Amino acid sequence: MTAHEEKTVYPAKAEPGQSGGMAEYQAEYEASQADPAAFWDKIAQRLDWFHPYNSVCQGDFHSVAVNWFANGKLNVAHNCIDRHLKDRADQTAIIWEADDPADNRHISYAELHREVCRLANTLTASGVRRGDRVCIYLPMIPELAFTMLACARIGAIHSIVFAGFSADSLRDRILDCQAKVVVTANEGLRGGRVIALKQITDKAVEGIASVEKVMVVRRTEVEVEMKPGRDVWLHEELAKERAYCPATWMDAEDPLFILYTSGSTGKPKGVLHTTGGYLTYTSFTHERVFGYREGDIYFCAADIGWVTGHSYIIYGPLANGATTIMFESTPLYPDPGRYWEVIERHKVSIFYTAPTAIRALAAEGSSWVEKSDRSSLRVLGTVGEPINPEAWEWYYREVGKERCTIVDTWWQTETGGIMITPQPGVNDLKPGSATLPFYGIQPVIVNEKGEVQEGNGVSGHLCIGRPWPSMARTIWGDHERYLQTYFSTYKGYYFTGDGCRRDDDGYYWITGRVDDVLNVSGHRLGTAEIEASINGSELISESAVVGYPHKIKGTGIFAYVVLNRDAESTDPDVVEFSVREQVSRDIGKIARPDVVLLVKGLPKTRSGKIMRRILRKIAEHEYKKLGNTSTLADPSVVEGLIEAHQAFVEANPG
Ligand code: WTA
C-alpha cells in the first residue's frame, strides 16, 4: 500500500434514510460502547420474541461464558417467515437463479412457509428431535434453504457442508457432529458440470452408525443407487406431510448451526452459533451495512456452504422480509457476463461478492459488464479477503459507474456477522480499507507482546475487546480448543488471527492472516490440513505449504514437497499430478496446490520446526529478504530451495 493509495478518499454518497451521516454514526457508536445492554436491548426489538429475555448480555472475555438475551424464547424460522405472512405472503422471498440462465423460480413467503413446514414435518417423521444434528450436503437449490429453515423450526442443529468438499471431508464433519440425517441431492449442477453428490455421500456415510437416514433431492433426472431402509427421495417423503408445523420455542442461547472451518491445526473445527444474538446481529447488519430498504432486490453471490451464505443469503435478509437471490451457477457460466445479466434480469439493488470474483471478471474486460443494464444497483459489497485497491476501483468505476457505495466488509465464520465495514451514506470510503467498526464492535490492536496499541497510525494483531451478540459460543465438542484458539493468545480479548493497521483517520486496513490459515479465493484453508493430505501420498516424505500472491485467487497455494527415498526417481510431473489428485480426493478441488515444488529438504530449526517465513519469501521471489537463517539446523538447505524455485520460474514464466 502506498501512501498515495491510502489518501484516496471517496466521499460518502447521499442515501435517503441516512441523513445523519457520520455524526449520527459516531453518536450511535458511542452509545453502543457506553451502554451495550441498553443499545442491544433496543436493537433486539426488531425480532419477534415469544417470551422476553431477562438480561441482555452476561459474561466477558475473561470468563468467556457469554450469554445474550438469556431466557428469551424465539424461533428463527418464525422470524424469517411466519411473521412476514401478514403483510407479505405474496412477496417473493427467494429468487432462485438456476445454473441454466433460462431457468429461475420465484418463491413467495407463503410458499416458503409451506415448503419449510413440510420439510420440518418430514425431519420429525424421520426421528429428528430438538438438538439433533442434520448434515446438509446440497448445491445452491431451494431445498437447501428449506432444509436449514426446517431445522431451525424444530430446533435441530444444521451443519452445512459446501458441495465442493470431498467424501473424506464430508465424512469427518458428519462424524464429528454425529449427524442423524444427511440431506443431499442425486446430482449437483454448476457451470454446466455435474457433481455426483449422492455417490460422494454414499462413500462418506459408509459405516457411520449415527446416520439413520439419507434424504435425496432429485435435482436432475439421473437415477442413483438407493440403500433400502436408509435412503429416501425427499419429494416422496414431502408428499406425505402437511404444510403446517408449529415453530418450536427455542432459547436465545440454543444452538442454531455448526459450520466447520479451517484453523491452524489439521482438523477443521465446528464453529457453533446460537439463536437470539445471531439473528439480532445478522438482521441488523444486513439492514445497515447494505442500506437495505423495502422493495430492494438483494443478491449475495456466495455459496450457502460458507458463513456468508448463512448470514447474508438466508438469515439476515429473510429476517428483514427481503427478496434474496440464490444463485446456483458460477460467475463465468455460460460467459463472464452472468452476474450482470442476473442483475439486469431481476433489477438487483444490492450486490455482494468476493474480491476473487471481481478480479476474475475484471480480467475478462469491461465489455461484459457493459452488456447489461446495471442502473438498479445502489450498493456493492465485498467479503472474504483483503480487496486490492485496483480491484476496488474496477468495481467502483466499471460496475457501479461511480454511483454506488462499495462496502468492504470484514468478518469471519466465528464472528457470525459483519464487524468492520463502511455504511452507505455514512462514511467516506478508501479503496482497500474496511473502514470503521460496526455498532457494538470494539476493535483492539495489540503488538506481539500483547500490548494494546492506542491511538491512530498503529498496526499489529486484530482483537475484539468485548462480546457481541453473534459471536461463536464454542467449538462443537471441544470447548477447550475454543478457549485456546481465540481467548488465550491475548488475555481478555477475542483474537481474530488477522493482522491490521489503523491509519491516521482511524480507518482499519486488514492485512491478512497472521496464523497458518490461507485465504484462497475467499475460501479458508489450513496449511496443516493440506500438508496432512500431501504427506498421505506414498511418494512424499514431508511437505510444507505456504501462501503466495496470486493474481485472481488473492492467495495461491504453494507446496514444497520432499520425496521418499525410494520414490526419488519419480518424474516430477507425476509427482505434481499425484499430489494435486491426493489433495482433491482428501479435501476437495479448492485445496489443490497451484505450485508443487520438489525440494531436497525443508528449512528447519534445530528443534525441528519448519521456518515458514523463509518458504513464504522464496515463493514470493524475495530471495534477498529471507532474514536470519543462522538458526537453521542446516543453513545450506536454503540454497537448494532457491535453486529449485529459480528453475521452476524459468520453466513457468509468468
Ligand atoms: C478474511 C468470511 C480483509 C480475514 C466472512 C478473515 C477479510 C477471514 C475480509 C475469515 C475483508 C474476510 N477484508 N480480509 N473484507 N473479509 N476476510 O471465516 O482474513 O471464511 O479472518 O469468513 O477472511 O474467513 P471466513
CATH number at residue 527: 3.30.300.30
Q: Does any domain span residue 503?
A: yes
Q: Does any domain span residue 268?
A: no
- Ligand 1 site, CB within 6 A: 261, 306-308, 383-386, 408-413, 434, 496-498, 510, 512-513, 519, 524
pLDDT digits over 290-316, tens only?
999 999 999 999 999 999 999 999 999
The residue-averaged pLDDT of 156-171 equals 97
Cβ atoms of 481 and 475 closer than 8 Å? yes
Nearest Cα residue to atom 25 of ligand 1: 412
What are the residues facing 410 on neighbouring strands?
420
Q: How remote is the C-alpha of 264 from its chain's centroid?
A: 17
> Are 473 and 605 part of one and the same domain?
no
Ligand 1 atom showing the smallest separation from residue 513 Cα: 19
Q: What is the pLDDT of residue 63?
A: 82
> Are 490 and 525 part of one and the same domain?
no
- What mean pLDDT is reported for the chain? 95
Cβ atoms of 149 and 181 closer than 8 Å? no
Q: Which three cell numbers stand for residue 511?
A: 492485512
Nearest to 46 by CA among 298, 277, 311, 245: 277
Q: What is the pLDDT of residue 123?
A: 98
pLDDT digits over 412-439, tens only?
999 999 999 999 999 999 999 999 999 9
Three-point CA angle 321, 109, 94, nearest 5°: 75
What are the residues facing 260 on neighbouring strands?
270
Q: How many domains does the chain have?
A: 3
Distance from C-alpha of 226 to C-alpha of 205, rounded to nearest angstrom: 13
Q: Of 251, 285, 308, at which residue does a domain stop? A: 251
> Are 177 and 309 part of one and the same domain?
no
Number of other CB atoms surrounding residue 467 within 10 Å:
21
Query: 599 C-alpha vs ligand 1 centroid, how far in Å?
Result: 32
Nearest to 328 by CA among 338, 315, 318, 317: 338
Q: Of 251, 286, 309, at which residue does a domain stop? A: 251
Say whether 308 counts as a known binding-site residue. Answer: yes
Q: Does any domain span residue 94?
A: no
Cβ atoms of 185 and 197 closer than 8 Å? yes
Q: Does any domain span residue 260?
A: no
Query: 3 C-alpha vs ligand 1 centroid, how far in Å?
Result: 24
The residue-averaged pLDDT of 49-55 equals 98
Cβ atoms of 601 and 183 closer than 8 Å? no
pLDDT band at 648 (very low <50, low <70, confident <90, very high): very high
Per DSSP, the three-state class of 495 is strand
Query: 384 C-alpha vs ligand 1 centroid, how far in Å?
Result: 4
> Are 321 and 425 part of one and the same domain?
yes
Three-point CA angle 438, 444, 446, nearest 5°: 155
Q: Does any domain span residue 244?
A: yes
In one-letter notation, the amino acid at residue 343 is I
> Are 418 and 471 part of one and the same domain?
yes
Say whether 568 counts as a known binding-site residue. Answer: no
Cβ atoms of 541 and 565 closer than 8 Å? yes
Q: How remote is the C-alpha of 494 from its chain's centroid?
A: 19
Q: What is the pLDDT of residue 14?
A: 84
Query: 513 C-alpha vs ligand 1 centroid, how far in Å?
Result: 9
Ligand 1 atom showing the smallest separation from residue 308 Cα: 5
Distance from C-alpha of 16 to C-alpha of 10, rounded to nearest angstrom: 18
Distance from C-alpha of 596 to C-alpha of 71, rounded to nearest angstrom: 53
> Are 341 and 458 part of one and the same domain?
yes
Whether the bond into 389 is cis, omega within 30 of 0: no
Distance from C-alpha of 24 to C-alpha of 426, rounded to nearest angstrom: 8
Query: 385 C-alpha vs ligand 1 centroid, how far in Å?
Result: 5
Say whether 521 counts as a known binding-site residue. Answer: yes
In one-letter notation, the amino acid at residue 589 is K
> Are 10 and 134 part of one and the same domain?
no
pLDDT digits over 481-514, tens only?
999 999 999 999 999 999 999 999 999 999 999 9
> Are 137 and 198 part of one and the same domain?
yes
Structural domain range at position 502? 3-78+275-509
> Are 529 and 430 part of one and the same domain?
no
Say whether 153 counts as a known binding-site residue. Answer: no
